[in-house]
């Protein structure tokens, strides 16, 4: 396990664009590349690196000793914040949804790879009910946490704020101006907002929400008022956040066998499934060049595989 690397967030990572070769792409004369942001770090990968970068630099600048953030029990953001905090020398506090998980912590940790990674990197947890979780951003609750733990730098759920959007504007490079479309998975929309803001003329962003609902457009517009170079494709959430079916799992395994690229079932698997489905349905003109951002999230596979195992269903193949 990684320990400390105070300059980790000073690094300007430029991820490789890997061309995908599949018969459907040849048939439809569409070029698809995947930007391998997943390779930045095994846990602080993809957009989580981008979203944490300026937030952790800000926390340091403000001389904070700790950061506090929120998430579900399988949250990529929770795992990334814990590992990143350890790397740069900040304590981390995680407010986790689900008070039942706190009743027997050793058992919870034994069964949950995400929380184990977070705990192994020093994160302290506070488990709260789903009801209380809805009020987690209230002044009263934050004050209570300050009384419990002392001062901290607050990072919102999913890590999205203005500094996170700034970080996500560094995903695309000048060379990426050659693409017609940039695609990414959408959770809170922070990553998409950064991509939208860094787009060149004539390029378009397509977002693939990993969850149900119509609130995401509003969230994205908060950061991108002036832009209309983007759209959301809302048919690929597979039932909602962290929901999946056999078709998705089989797709992820087949894509891995065909291309060597591992996708996750919560975000990137749904996006690539959606892109290939849209290509199949002739949504893109001949000659179109598409860049899909691999936002990482591979740490979450262990948790889903645990659930699949309990249901005696086919697992996601990992190396």
Residues that bind ligand PLP (CB under 6 A): 46-48, 76-77, 158, 160, 185-192, 264, 267-268, 295-297
In angstroms, give the least distance from the CB of 142 to ligand PLP: 21
Beta-bridge partner residues of 126: 95
Given the complex with ligand PLP, which of 28 and 271 has the nearer CB atom?
271
What whole-number distance in Å separates Cα of residue 302 and Cα of residue 218?
32
Given the complex with ligand PLP, which of 181 and 267 has the nearer CB atom?
267
In angstroms, give the least distance from the CB of 158 to ligand PLP: 4
8 A C-beta contact, residue 147 and residue 61: no
Given the complex with ligand PLP, which of 28 and 85 has the nearer CB atom?
85
Given the complex with ligand PLP, which of 38 and 176 has the nearer CB atom?
38
Return the residue nearest ligand PLP (CB atom).
Answer: 297
8 A C-beta contact, residue 292 and residue 33: yes
Task: Give residue for tokens 């089989």.
Answer: 250
Given the complex with ligand PLP, which of 28 and 210 has the nearer CB atom?
210
In angstroms, give the least distance from the CB of 37 to ligand PLP: 9
Given the complex with ligand PLP, which of 149 and 317 has the nearer CB atom?
317
In angstroms, give the least distance from the CB of 180 to ligand PLP: 22
What whole-number distance in Å separates Cα of residue 269 and Cα of residue 288?
21
8 A C-beta contact, residue 65 and residue 142: no
In angstroms, give the least distance from the CB of 229 to ligand PLP: 17
8 A C-beta contact, residue 293 and residue 182: yes
Given the complex with ligand PLP, which of 41 and 77 has the nearer CB atom?
77
In angstroms, give the least distance from the CB of 212 to ligand PLP: 14
In angstroms, give the least distance from the CB of 191 to ligand PLP: 3
């Amino acid at each position: 396990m990684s320990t400390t690397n105070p300059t980790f967030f000073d690094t300007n990572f430029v991820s490789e664009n890997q061309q995908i070769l599949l018969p459907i792409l040849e048939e439809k004369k569409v070029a698809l590349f995947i930007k391998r942001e997943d390779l930045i770090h095994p846990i602080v990968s993809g957009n989580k690196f981008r979203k944490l970068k300026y937030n952790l630099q800000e926390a340091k600048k403000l001389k904070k000793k700790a950061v506090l953030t929120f998430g579900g029990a399988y949250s990529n953001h929770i795992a990334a914040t814990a590992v990143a905090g350890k790397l740069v020398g900040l304590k981390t506090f995680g407010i986790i949804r689900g008070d039942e998980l706190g009743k027997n912590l050793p058992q919870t940790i034994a069964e949950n790879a995400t929380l184990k990674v977070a705990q192994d990197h020093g994160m302290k947890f506070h488990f709260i009910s789903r009801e209380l979780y809805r009020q987690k951003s209230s002044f009263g609750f934050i004050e209570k946490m300050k009384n419990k733990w002392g001062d901290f730098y607050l990072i919102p759920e999913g890590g999205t704020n203005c500094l996170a959007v700034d970080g996500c504007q560094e995903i695309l490079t000048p060379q990426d101006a050659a693409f017609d479309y940039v695609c990414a998975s959408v959770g809170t929309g922070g990553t998409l907002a950064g991509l939208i803001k860094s787009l060149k003329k004539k390029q378009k962003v397509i977002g693939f929400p990993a969850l149900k609902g119509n609130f995401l457009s509003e969230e994205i517009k908060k950061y991108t008022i002036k832009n209309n170079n983007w759209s959301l494709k809302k048919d690929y959430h597979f039932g909602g956040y962290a929901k999946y079916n056999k078709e998705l799992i089989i797709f992820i395994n087949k894509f891995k066998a065909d291309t060597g690229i591992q996708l996750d079932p919560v975000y990137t698997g749904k996006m690539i499934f959606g892109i290939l489905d849209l290509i199949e349905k002739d949504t893109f003109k001949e000659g179109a060049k598409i860049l899909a951002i691999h936002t990482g999230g591979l740490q979450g596979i262990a948790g889903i595989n645990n659930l699949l195992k309990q249901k005696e269903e086919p697992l996601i193949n990992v190396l």
